[in-house]
Structure 1
Amino acid sequence: MFERIAELAIRRSRLVLIVAAVVVVLMGALGAGAFGKLLGGGFDDPSSQSSRAREVIDDKFGGETNLVLLVRAPEGRIDAPAAKRSGQALVSDLKGERDLANVVSYWDTDNPDLRSKDGREAIVLARVKGKDAELQENAKAVIDDYAGTYEDTLTVKAGGSAGVSNEMGPQTTEDLILAESIAVPLILLLLLVVFGTVVSALLPLAIALVAIVGVFAQLFVVGSVTDVSIFAINLTTALGLGLGVDYALLMISRFREQLASGASVDDAVRTTMSTAGRTVAFSAATVAAALAALMVFPQYFLRSFGYSGVGVVVIAALATLFVMPALLNVLGHRVNSGRMPWSKPGRRSASGVPLWGRLARTVMRRPALTALPVLAVLLLAASPLLGITFGTPDERVLPENAESRQVSTALRENFKGNDAAALHVVIDKAVDKAPLESYAAELSGLEGVVRVEASTGVYADGQSKASGPGNPALGRPATQQLNVVSDLTPKSDDAKNLVEEVRTAAPPSGTNPLVSGVDAELVDSNDSIAGKLPLAIGLIAVSTFILLFLFTGSIVQPLRALVLNLISLGATIGVMTWIFQDGNLSGLLGFTAQPMETSMTVLMFCVAFGLSMDYEVFVTSRIKELHEQGEDNESAVTNGLGHTGRIVSAAAVLLAVSFFAFGTAKISFLQLFGLGSGLAILIDAIAVRGVLVPAAMRLLGRSAWYAPAFLKKFHGRFGLSEGGPAPVEPEAAPKVVSQTGA
């Protein structure tokens, strides 16, 4: 197959490039509408109890409260005549909005719990109608109309889930633009350093551009048929940029190496495709396999990255395999045009052995002595995992000056109970008044509960409150809703325990209540992900094992790769826990410490695992090639890392830059993902590939390539292997010419 692609690139290179240009233009036109197809949220399991309760509330009660308006009297109290008149007018206007339902306020209920402790603020609760994109549009319209100053008497701020989503979308776009404006120039500068010529440095960015444009087109298509998270834009763009550069870097390095050895342009293209091209295809398969495991989760936030992640890997690989050889064939020796001043021909290390080869040789002489300190550091970095806790995103992922976050803070600090974080209990069956009152009173007596609101009254401390009238809107002939309002910190351990206590409380006879609310969603989300995680990890492990066996013919190499990857990923997630959960560096990075976001941690694991396997293939392919040529294990590892070490380290730095750029994001879990993925890449490329792989190969010896006889026979028939002749070392090549070609 790779030979045929090479011949196509050689004979029809200009036609290939014209077709590619047309495809990119079409993808760009299609991808322009991607943002309009993407949604916020997606962190909940649709089949969970909280989701089912929310469906009942949507159907029978017009939906849960998702918009909280914090109304403040800048001067005086909220009960002052002028403020009261403006407040009543505000509520009247809100009730007239066709996109709002269930508008409840302090002014039309006289409920003191909807007024702040100092009397200067009050809240208005409402439900924005619609689902997904329609809900987002409606929320934006209402917030734009009412947030700010009302009648020169009141100030209004928007919060609740609708308010958070309204601010998160634009912030995501800003973060993406800033990250790419940082990453692209830095990557270009680093490519100039690596290659030393302008033309060679620009080629990887061309492939990255194809990958990014393809990502937007793919997201538009996928978003048209299923729910896709808006955060897929940020994270798959970083992945597309990084992989496009990585794969192109590998191809260009091998091509230049062949030219420097005296090969013709046509032969250089053929050898590049049969070696580096094969490695790119196989590397893409390992990354795609890891990302495909995200599709087993019911949350569309994670599934989005399964769809889009596999897509961007395929697009980057196809662009590299078809567009890059055509470009190289057209350019020929001009690939080295535009030489930079620091590019000096003919310079090599004094020993004649590249740095990474010397490092591998040193490690293999004393494998235990060199590997144990590295393992100790990685295990120390992983130690914060012993205290890791998990949560779901809320307003705290936004910067402190975000309006929705300020609303949430005010509700938590200035009001008795947090209505925005209330638990909603739904009984989808007719219930008599007496048992309903008894049940509500029992719930109100649970620790941390401030009050329970029901159609029959308001309850606190295990009994009915005479001053709290019931809310008739919470009762239907065959359905009842109870709102359990607590003063517990949302998503804390106490709040999660309250969810369990409410769910296990004895309900009215013959009923089976459902519980929703932010804390119930957190409990259900964590349970859902934990339930699917073994399957996802199993799929990743099995697919990786099979692919690496087909590539190496050994059953030991896949096991070695899996163990080392898990160690490096444990260290990465441990460091991220130390930073984002424990709050270290929060002042520098500008985030609020909170439990590790469950979905993002799983996503980071899958992405980092796939990228680690990317470099595993880069390195193992050349080691295997040399081993098959007759070199002993130690020599094959030393020379293999000598060939590939520089390209792996350069590729890792370039890919890490595309992720590290998201450290500038204002949304904290984007920071978590960007910094964590970038760190995982560097740990893998330096500590694992540079030290642990040669140490493990030395300790394993000849058994590193072991496979039972029947599997050897199977591999001989169906296995994947490098093709083409081994490259000749360039004697007079510029220093910056990569001596690789995995």
Structure 2
Amino acid sequence: MAGLLYRLGRFAARRRWLVVIAWVLVLALGGGGYALFGGAISTAISIPGTATTRVTDELAREFPSASGGSGSIVFQRTGAGAFDGDQKAEIASFLRRVGDLDGVRRAVDPFTSQQRIDDQRSTLSDGRQQLADGAKKLDDGQQQLDAGQKQLDAGQKQLDQQEAQAKAAGQLAAAQPQLDAAQAQLDAQQKTIDAQQRKITDGRKTLDTNRTELELGQRLLTLSKDIRFVSTDGSTALATVAFTKPTTEVAQTLKTRIAADAERADIPGVRVLISNEIAQGIPSVVGPGEVVGLLVAAVVLVLVLGTVIGAVLPLVSALLGVGVAILGALSFSGVVEFVSVTPVLAVMLGLAVGIDYSLFIINRHRRQLKQGVGLHESIGLADGTSGNAVVFAGTTVIVALLALNITGIPFLGLMGTVGGVAVAVAILVAITLIPALLSFVGMRVLRRAERAALGALGAPGAVREPTRPMPAWRAVVTLVAGVAVLAVIALPAMHMRLGLPVGSSEAEDSTQYKAYTVTGERFGEGQNGPLLVVADLPERATGTALLQQEVAIGERIAAQDHVAAVAPIGSSKDDRVLAFQVVPTGGPSSESTEQLVHDLRDLSPVQTDRGSVGLGVAGNASANIDISEKLGAVLPLYVGVVVGLSILILILVFRSFLVPITATIGFVLSLLATFGGLTAIYQFGWLHQVFGVHDPAPILSFLPIIEVGILFGLAMDYQLFLVSGMREAYAHGVPAKLAVQHGVHAGRAVVTAAAIIMTSVFSGFVFSDSSTIRPIGFGLAFGVLVDAFIVRMLLIPAVMRLLGDAAWWFPKWLDRLLPDVDVEGAKLERAHPPRGHDGAAAHAAAGAVDAPSDDPHRDRAAHRA
């Protein structure tokens, strides 16, 4: 690989115009592909197969009118008092326009909804009075009927006595016609009384049915008594926009249209605010923070490389690489659904590794030029040595990112794939475009004083190498103190909770934050994330039986902890599925709401008089909880895969068992510390004023997995550039404990610069407008700082010093079996020693160091001699 890259570097240097034009064409092709085939980017995150998804799919089949997602629009008076008639009319007109949009099922007028609820309460009150009046009329009728029946019974008794007297007197035949006429009259009166009795009996049955329904209605109304659509003071109204599709599938163009209409809504004296489900837009890729981050990176590059033109090259190449990667990836957004954070993450990675990888090659090239190596030869050697290390280090990042696909979560796998593409493009740009640009720049990559020194006679001054290893006591103190510091930083991670951003996480001046806070203040926190509970009945129920089922299930739901209100939505066409809106006491990201979702699912099946009823939970809050738990569940698997990869790759590179183990333990420590920092700032709210965390919330659910993948790759980068120097010195005969100092001395400058640059780039996203991007930027920036400056530059050297020769123990039979990856391109360097006006002298000064044998022990004996 080193030889191939050497030839590639020399080719790019000689054919510099061809390489530059080729990359410009690739960029143009990416832009053309995006213009022709690019599609919309989604702001919603979804995972197929979750409990919420299954319930949503069932609703789409059985109860379509309740299956779509929803968002809220808050209307608030800017002055004192309640809405007036004109304002209500204009709000209703605005909502009708929203309801007419394609993809919107309905936009509910809050004043109509509130009036309906008030009317229901009034109707129930009137119904009780009507039932009381009806019962009194039935009682009065029954009394009259009983009196008539009593008179009729007395008349029948008198007639029977007359008949008996006539019979005793022998005059029955003469009196019979008169007696029959009287009996017929009594029978007719009895029929009338019987008919009236049946009417009263039926009336009582109807009254009992009505009373039962009224009582059931009252119980349902009691369950939902705390649900309001207009605040009690009449100054705030909450409208619901129901979509035809689930929230995660609603087109971004529709959300943008509603948001734009709300912004343009000119209703005098009324402020229009939209919820996060509607207002969440595509995060900005470039903002003031990102520009500041790039400026800091530029300053570091100038300090390290010594020239402005040298500092510009990594920035130009990184920006071009990011452009190619992003435009190329987004060309497929018309056929593959992209989550909005995916391209932003790719930009972060592309910029950071693009600058760093270019820096490694340019720094090597500068050092070789100062040794007297010819321009094109130096470019080729830099590409074959540092470029080879860049390819290997970048490959570890790509592998870690592509491994995100094993989680089985589509959006996460795509995120890793696009990030891997950005890193791959950064590698290709570094090993092709950088050599071409270095050819254009020529010797100007050196400072004027450095160029002048090349003309002086004699070899450049020898580089001072460490002559004594780190004291053992210092290694022990460094190790103990470093681990203790990381452990303390990691402590908050024990309480880390995962979630997705809600309105409270957005900027305080954003419409979604204002909508969230106003809703919580006026209608209760739970109205920001109501749950949808679906009940599957064992058999069809109608009329009173349906009401009884609604009440029985609703009351069981309301009996759970953390439930503020329960409102029945209705039943499916076949009366087999019931839906309820459940308003929690807490917000959508609160622990109480999370617990409520689990309690409701554990409640299923509910036993009623008509059998077992299965319950399912859906809604935006439930979907967020399911996604977070799914991501949390796959995290151990992914960490296991990454740790396994870490050990195997490092065994291959360093020909050691203990070096990979210590490197992996160091990675785990830096990862836990990063999780602790994230939890402390974004979940606990520590240093909230510095980082703009006005409302602490759970950690972004997919962030831990992203952190694992990216920090693993970057940690291996720093491990490679530091420990490979130790191994090289050890292989050249330097004692193991002293070789540690040699490796640190050789790699600390470039690793420090690379870490500062990467931290600067990532830190630029910490102050993004997007609540999703901010913690990602902080996590990556903090993770790089911790891993580079505490783990790689302090703990690893201390451990290596204490291990001594044992760090490099490796079975000879296994060493023969494994391929020699030659990451640093040492063989290429020995085959192309420095040649120039002072190259021979430099080579002679290097002596045996440039030609290690296959026996490190013999080399160390020669070194001591």
Whether 1:190 and 2:300 are equivalent positions in the alignment is yes
Whether 1:442 and 2:567 are equivalent positions in the alignment is no
- 1:551–1:721 contact (8 Å) kept in structure 2: no
Corresponding residue of 1:368: 476
**Which of 58, 65, 72 is matched with 1:68 structurally?**
72
Corresponding residue of 2:161: none
**Which of 101, 107, 112 is matched with 1:103 structurally?**
107
Shift of 1:130: 5.4
Whether 1:118 and 2:233 are equivalent positions in the alignment is yes
Q: Aligned runs of 1:585-734 on 2, under 5 Å?
A: 585-591=687-693, 592-716=695-819, 722=825, 723-725=827-829
**Which of 295, 315, 321 is matched with 2:425 structurally?**
315
Shift of 1:248: 0.9
The residue type equivalent to 2:577 in the other structure is T
Secondary structure at 1:71 match in 2 = strand
The residue type equivalent to 1:490 in the other structure is P
Shift of 1:500: 1.5
Residues in 2 aligned to 1:326 and 1:416: alpha-carbon distance in whole angstroms: 62
Whether 1:408 and 2:516 are equivalent positions in the alignment is yes
Corresponding residue of 2:24: 21
| Residues 520/67 of structure 1: CA separation in 2 closer, same or farther (3 Å cut) | closer
Residues in 2 aligned to 1:683 and 1:598: alpha-carbon distance in whole angstroms: 22
| Residues 244/271 of structure 1: CA separation in 2 closer, same or farther (3 Å cut) | same
Residues in 2 aligned to 1:286 and 1:161: alpha-carbon distance in whole angstroms: 37
Residues in 2 aligned to 1:661 and 1:151: alpha-carbon distance in whole angstroms: 39
Deviations along 1:368-399, whole A, 9 cap, x unmatched? 12322222222211122233222221112211
Deviations along 1:248-282, whole A, 9 cap, x unmatched? 11111111212222222343233323321211111
Secondary structure at 1:223 match in 2 = coil
| Residues 5/724 of structure 1: CA separation in 2 closer, same or farther (3 Å cut) | closer
Deviations along 1:555-577, whole A, 9 cap, x unmatched? 22211110011112222221222
The residue type equivalent to 2:416 in the other structure is G
Secondary structure at 1:451 match in 2 = strand
Secondary structure at 1:481 match in 2 = strand
Q: Aligned runs of 1:488-507 on 2, under 5 Å?
A: 488-505=586-603, 506-507=605-606
Shift of 1:731: 13
Corresponding residue of 2:2: 2
Secondary structure at 2:334 match in 1 = helix
| Residues 201/364 of structure 1: CA separation in 2 closer, same or farther (3 Å cut) | farther
- 1:45–1:298 contact (8 Å) kept in structure 2: no
Deviations along 1:276-305, whole A, 9 cap, x unmatched? 121111101111122223223354443332
Corresponding residue of 2:288: 178
Residues in 2 aligned to 1:732 and 1:372: alpha-carbon distance in whole angstroms: 46
**Which of 628, 633, 646 is matched with 1:544 structurally?**
646
Corresponding residue of 2:683: 581
**Which of 31, 38, 56 is matched with 2:41 structurally?**
38
Secondary structure at 1:575 match in 2 = helix
Deviations along 1:341-372, whole A, 9 cap, x unmatched? 9x9999x9999647xx69x9436673212322
Secondary structure at 2:614 match in 1 = coil
Corresponding residue of 1:56: 58
Deviations along 1:160-216, whole A, 9 cap, x unmatched? 5123x2xx32xx21x633233222222222211111123322221122022211231
The residue type equivalent to 2:606 in the other structure is P
Shift of 1:441: 2.1
- 1:218–1:308 contact (8 Å) kept in structure 2: no
Q: Aligned runs of 1:32-431 on 2, under 5 Å?
A: 36-42=39-45, 44-59=46-61, 60-61=64-65, 63-75=67-79, 78=82, 80-109=84-113, 110=115, 111=117, 113-129=228-244, 135-147=251-263, 149-152=265-268, 154-163=270-279, 165=280, 168-169=281-282, 172-173=283-284, 176-336=286-446, 353=464, 361-362=469-470, 366-415=474-523, 418-427=526-535, 431=540
Shift of 1:32: 6.1
Residues in 1 aligned to 2:838 and 2:614: alpha-carbon distance in whole angstroms: 79
- 1:31–1:214 contact (8 Å) kept in structure 2: no
- 1:229–1:300 contact (8 Å) kept in structure 2: no
- 1:197–1:340 contact (8 Å) kept in structure 2: no
Secondary structure at 1:400 match in 2 = coil
- 1:550–1:719 contact (8 Å) kept in structure 2: no
Where do 5+ consecutive residues of structure 2 fail to align?
Answer: 119-227, 840-845, 851-865
Residues in 1 aligned to 2:495 and 2:692: alpha-carbon distance in whole angstroms: 23
Residues in 2 aligned to 1:363 and 1:649: alpha-carbon distance in whole angstroms: 23
Residues in 2 aligned to 1:297 and 1:16: alpha-carbon distance in whole angstroms: 38
Shift of 1:604: 2.3
Deviations along 1:295-338, whole A, 9 cap, x unmatched? 23354443332111111111111111222233334544343266
Count residues in correspondence.
Answer: 708
Q: Name whichever of 652-661 and 374-383 sits farther off.
A: 374-383
Whether 1:558 and 2:672 are equivalent positions in the alignment is no
Deviations along 1:604-660, whole A, 9 cap, x unmatched? 232222211111111122222222223221232222221111010011111111011
Secondary structure at 1:51 match in 2 = helix
Residues in 2 aligned to 1:417 and 1:69: alpha-carbon distance in whole angstroms: 15
Corresponding residue of 1:451: 565
- 1:40–1:229 contact (8 Å) kept in structure 2: yes
Shift of 1:80: 4.2
Percent identity of paired positions between Structure 1 and Structure 2: 23
Structure (1 or 2) with the larger CA radius of gyration? 2
Residues in 1 aligned to 2:692 and 2:470: alpha-carbon distance in whole angstroms: 42
- 2:30–2:324 contact (8 Å) kept in structure 1: yes
TM-score for the superposition, normalised by structure 1: 0.87
Residues in 2 aligned to 1:539 and 1:333: alpha-carbon distance in whole angstroms: 45
Residues in 2 aligned to 1:133 and 1:260: alpha-carbon distance in whole angstroms: 59
Residues in 2 aligned to 1:232 and 1:272: alpha-carbon distance in whole angstroms: 33
Deviations along 1:425-461, whole A, 9 cap, x unmatched? 1245664213343112211222332322224xxxxxx
Residues in 1 aligned to 2:318 and 2:240: alpha-carbon distance in whole angstroms: 46
The residue type equivalent to 1:161 in the other structure is E
Secondary structure at 1:663 match in 2 = coil
- 1:287–1:607 contact (8 Å) kept in structure 2: yes
| Residues 386/535 of structure 1: CA separation in 2 closer, same or farther (3 Å cut) | closer
TM-score for the superposition, normalised by structure 2: 0.75
Shift of 1:10: 2.1
- 2:498–2:629 contact (8 Å) kept in structure 1: no
Shift of 1:682: 1.9
Residues in 2 aligned to 1:300 and 1:377: alpha-carbon distance in whole angstroms: 37
| Residues 647/248 of structure 1: CA separation in 2 closer, same or farther (3 Å cut) | same
Shift of 1:148: 5.4
Q: Name whichever of 643-652 and 591-600 sits farther off.
A: 591-600
The residue type equivalent to 2:5 in the other structure is I
| Coordinate RMSD, CA, aligned | 3.4
The residue type equivalent to 1:491 in the other structure is S
Residues in 2 aligned to 1:644 and 1:143: alpha-carbon distance in whole angstroms: 52
Corresponding residue of 1:466: none
Corresponding residue of 1:459: none
Where do 5+ consecutive residues of structure 1 fail to align?
Answer: 456-470, 734-738
Residues in 2 aligned to 1:262 and 1:300: alpha-carbon distance in whole angstroms: 52
Residues in 1 aligned to 2:836 and 2:583: alpha-carbon distance in whole angstroms: 73
| Residues 729/555 of structure 1: CA separation in 2 closer, same or farther (3 Å cut) | farther
Residues in 2 aligned to 1:34 and 1:674: alpha-carbon distance in whole angstroms: 30
| Residues 234/255 of structure 1: CA separation in 2 closer, same or farther (3 Å cut) | same
| Residues 30/189 of structure 1: CA separation in 2 closer, same or farther (3 Å cut) | farther
- 2:42–2:251 contact (8 Å) kept in structure 1: no
Q: Name whichever of 63-72 and 503-512 sits farther off.
A: 503-512
